[in-house]
Amino acid sequence: MTKIVPSEELRAFLLRLYALMESRDVDGFREMFSSSSQLLIAGSDPQEWVMGRAGVEVFVRQLDEMPFKIKPGTIQAYTAGSIGWVADQPRLRLPNGTGAGKRVTA
Is there a contact between 62 and 48 (Cβ–Cβ < 8 Å)? no
Q: How far apart are the first and last CA of the chain?
A: 23
pLDDT of residue 45: 82
pLDDT along the chain (106 residues), means of 10: 96 97 94 94 86 91 89 98 97 93 92
Is there a contact between 77 and 88 (Cβ–Cβ < 8 Å)? no
Is there a contact between 100 and 91 (Cβ–Cβ < 8 Å)? yes
Rounded to 5°, the CA angle 20-7-90 comes to: 45
Is there a contact between 84 and 6 (Cβ–Cβ < 8 Å)? no
Task: Find how far residue 27's CA is from the centre of its chain.
Answer: 15
pTM (2 d.p.):
0.90
